[in-house]
Structure formats: C-alpha cells, structure tokens
Amino acid sequence: MSVRVRFGPSPTGELHMGSVRTALFDWLFARHHGGEFLVRIEDTDQTRSVAGAEERILEGLRWMGLDWDEGPDIGGPHGPYRQSERLPLYEVAAERLLASGRAYRCACPPERVKQVREEAQRRKRPPGYDARCRDLAPADLANEIAAQDGRSVVRFRSPREGATVVPDALRGDVVFENRLLDDHVLLKEDGFPTYHLASVVDDHAMEISHVFRGDEWLSSAPRHLLLYEALGYEPPVFIHQPVILGPDKGKLSKRHGATSVSAYAEQGYLPEALINFLALLGWSKDDRTTKMSVAEIIEAFDIDRMGVTPVTFDQTRLDAMNADFLRELGPEEFFRRAAPFLERALPEDVARPLDLTPLLPLAPLIQERVKRLAEFAEYVDFFFLPGPLDYPNAELMGKGFRDNPAGALTAVEGAIAALKAVEPWTAEAIEAALRGLADRLALRAGVVFTPLRVAVTGKRIAPPLFETLAVLGRARAVERLNVAAERLARPDD
C-alpha cells in the first residue's frame, strides 16, 4: 500500500506548535516511506474561518521546510484541496447515507438540542441529542421541517447496540460502546459538512493511508469508523498522537509564551532545530540520540518508535538545541541568517543597508554565545551605533574598581596610550599591549579590562575584548576610551 498522509489545518489563525508537530510527523512519515504528503484546508466552519490564515499556515509550513506534494496552492490529482470547495462531494455522501437509511434528516433547531443536552446533564444522564427525529414518519418530518422554514440537518443513525473497535496504531484496539454514541450531525444547516463527514469523505477520495491527528480525536474515532463502514470505504490507519502540554501540565497556550511557528521564526530559531526538538516530542530514535539532521530523522522515523505519553513543551531544551544548531553554521551562513534580525533590532538612525563583512572575524565568537539569532544584535550593536554610547558610569568601574573612578581612569588612560602604539592593529598585538598594561598596573587582567569593555561596547557582557577592538578600529576605539576617561574624570556621579 502506498503511503499518503494529509495535514488538515483549519484556517482560524496562526500555525500552532501542536498542529505543526502533527504536520511534521505526517511529513516525516511520508518522506521516510517515499509516499505523498498533502495539505488540505479544513474550512468547514464558516464562522471560524479567518481571512489570511490559510496563507499564514502555509507560510509556516514552508518556513519549516515541510514541502507538500498536493495542496490548495499547487493543486493535484485529488483537488480541490479546500473543503469549502468540495461541498458537492459531501452532499452526495449524505444523500447516499440518507438513501440507505444510515442517516436521517432532523428538524430540531439548535436551541432545542441545547436544551435537551443541558437537561440531560442536570439529570446526570449521558448528554447528546435525544434522537427525536430519528424515527419520525416521513410526513411528520416534512411538517417539522416546514415549520422550521425548511431548515434541517442530516444526522448519522448511530447503532444502539454492539461496540466499535478503533484500531489505533499506537495503543492497539480501543473499544467503544455504540449505545454511548449519539446521532451526531453530518451536514449542517448551512449545507457545510462537519469534520466527521468531511474528513471521512476526503480521506477516502484522496486515498489517504494513514491519519496522524491529536488524541483529542480518539473519542470521536468510532464515529469515523462507523462512517467508513456505512459508506463502504476502507478506513485508513489511525495514529492518535499524545497532546503537547505547557510547563504547568495544562494545555499549551499563550500563557506559556510563544505558541505559533511564526513567533519562533521571529525570535531566531532555526527550522532544523525546531524540527529536531518537535520530532523528539513523542518519538525517539534510540536510547541516546538527541541531535539529528532532518535527513537523519527522515531516515530513522517510523510509527513503532512513537510514544503515547502526553509531552511537556520545554522551552529550555529547545533553546539548547537551537544554540547547538547555530554553532554548526559556517560564519558566513550564520551572518546571512542573522542579518535580518540586526536590521530589525538596530535603531532608525543607523545607516542601511548594513555591511557585516568587517564583523566576520567576530562571527565564531558570537555564534557560540547566542541561543537565538535575535540575540545577535546585542553583541554587535556597538559596531553600528553612532555617537557616544549610552551606559551608566558605574559600569565603567565594575567590581574591580568599585567606587574608585580614579583607578578605572588609570586603566582607561593607560589603555589609550598603549593602543596608540599597537602595531599592527591585530587582536594578538592588542592583547599583548593590554596584558602588558595590566602587568604594569599590577592588577588582574579582568579588573583592567572591564572598564575598557564597557567603554568600547557600552555593556558589561560582550564578545572577547581584543577581537572587538581589532574589528572596531583604532580610531573609534580610542575615541570611545576618551569619552570614558572624561566621564571618569568628572567628579559628579
């Protein structure tokens, strides 16, 4: 059997972490087996569809590198790939079920259904539709529908006895008592199908072999199996994935920070890191591998190594992985990816476009220090900022010269003199000169370097000092040190 899997997002907003994890597993499975991965937009709820959401979701998938073989934008042999454009298919299926007696029309207005449900709940009875229209005589039903101005829905005639077995690839057979199933809606009043009807009809029509979905669907899986049976279709293999939880074990939500793929992209996470991280949320290669390339994951991926336990989204682990992948990039590649973040982070008055080439020697040093590309700007902004740097004077003294501006001044002035004589202007020569200065002052290198670092970069935490100075250039370095000297010489603050 050829492998065909589908990702079926509803266009209601951003591409969420939980959804993209499902899409990733779909994609990995398809790629591993040389099958097809398709995207189908499940826009059957007119009230929830959001303009532009489809494009944002596709954009998220593209950014992740999850390419699809068939979809709403590129078409394919089983199109269209938007459920709202496939309405006739669902109608035909509903008519067939109506004709075979496996479904019936229902004239009960939503308000009545709601009342019935609430009443049942109050009496601690199983909630759900009471099947009032299920066995109405045709003439009576026609009257009821007429009384509702012709409005009606189509409901599935659920069996009242027996049990339905849902074969889940992860948990084995899960058995559901049929009498607990109510007669759910197949076709809504507006003519749109519910998820249940639409997904069964489409998965069959699109020849889907495996369905990966969140395990919130497990409870309704018997409805789907029953529909396949009623329609005479062969059901696909179902894989109900465990949910992704927030750190507090609750549903992952905005409360826990970013939840959309785009938000992670904007912070400077690498798609390959996110893929590695997400793949390990509910799947493992073996007992020790945690770092894998996308190709390696595809190679190793399969259902038999998927887990069933709900997983917690651990941001710290993602950060560690992202830092890992960031370090592996070549310096030019790192710069290329980081550049857009710099453009965004630097103030307006910095001239664009930015020229990063002078910073290249610093690349490896910064690479090993950032977890996200967005942090890049904090390390190199000193190079671009025009005019005097903005920092509190106390920073210039650091711990070594605490409350001792005179001491810090000695270091800064000594550095100015030493740097003016450095030749050639290289990190090595600068290091020799500054270490010599520390020796002459009989102070630890760290004590002497802190004022210099702050003077030159404006902050206490920065890339290594000598390389920083080398990149900045002698003139700008001395200029900034002079500014610092003036500040330290001033008696006030």
Partner RNA sequence: GGCGCAUUCGUCUAGCGGCCCAGGACACCGCCCUCUCAAGGCGGAGAUCGGGGGUUCGAAUCCCCCAUGCGCUACCA
Cα separation, 415 vs 477, whole angstroms: 10
- Give the nearest distance from C-beta 413 to RNA in angstroms: 19
Judged by CB under 7 A, which of 50, 92, 146, 180 binds RNA? 180
**333 versus 368: smaller Cβ distance to RNA:** 368
Among positions 72-111, residues that touch RNA (CB under 7 A) are: 108-110
Residue 303 near RNA by CB under 7 A: no
- Give the nearest distance from C-beta 133 to RNA in angstroms: 10
The one segment of 167-175, 351-359, 388-396, 471-479 that binds RNA by CB under 7 A: 167-175
Residue 442 near RNA by CB under 7 A: no
Tokens 């336990």 sit at which residue? 309
Among positions 330-349, residues that touch RNA (CB under 7 A) are: none
- Give the nearest distance from C-beta 109 to RNA in angstroms: 5
- Integer distance in angstroms from the first to the last C-alpha of the chain? 78
Judged by CB under 7 A, which of 138, 149, 162, 287 binds RNA? 287
Residue 68 near RNA by CB under 7 A: no
Residue 161 near RNA by CB under 7 A: no
Residue 184 near RNA by CB under 7 A: yes
Q: Which residues are catalytic?
A: 254
The one segment of 28-36, 227-235, 301-309, 387-395 that binds RNA by CB under 7 A: 301-309
- Give the nearest distance from C-beta 79 to RNA in angstroms: 18
**Main-chain dihedrals φ then ψ at residue 260, nearest 5 degrees:** -100, 150
**27 versus 129: smaller Cβ distance to RNA:** 129
Residue 351 near RNA by CB under 7 A: no
Tokens 């229902």 sit at which residue? 106
**183 versus 491: smaller Cβ distance to RNA:** 183
Cα separation, 253 vs 267, whole angstroms: 18
- Give the nearest distance from C-beta 117 to RNA in angstroms: 4
**18 versus 235: smaller Cβ distance to RNA:** 18
Residue 294 near RNA by CB under 7 A: no
Tokens 């596709």 sit at which residue? 58
Give the count of residues interacting with RNA (CB under 7 A): 84
The one segment of 62-70, 190-198, 351-359, 472-480 that binds RNA by CB under 7 A: 190-198
Among positions 132-151, residues that touch RNA (CB under 7 A) are: 151
**121 versus 490: smaller Cβ distance to RNA:** 121
Cα separation, 49 vs 11, whole angstroms: 5
- Give the nearest distance from C-beta 295 to RNA in angstroms: 20
Residue 256 near RNA by CB under 7 A: no
Among positions 446-485, residues that touch RNA (CB under 7 A) are: 446, 449-450, 453, 460-467
Among positions 27-56, residues that touch RNA (CB under 7 A) are: 42, 44-45, 48
Judged by CB under 7 A, which of 149, 286, 348, 493 binds RNA? 286
Among positions 401-430, residues that touch RNA (CB under 7 A) are: none
**84 versus 351: smaller Cβ distance to RNA:** 84
- Give the nearest distance from C-beta 149 to RNA in angstroms: 12
Strand-strand pairing, 36-39 and 4-7: parallel
User: Which residues neighbour 411 within 8 Å (Cβ) at sequence distance 6 or greater?
Assistant: 401, 437, 441, 443, 447, 448, 451, 452
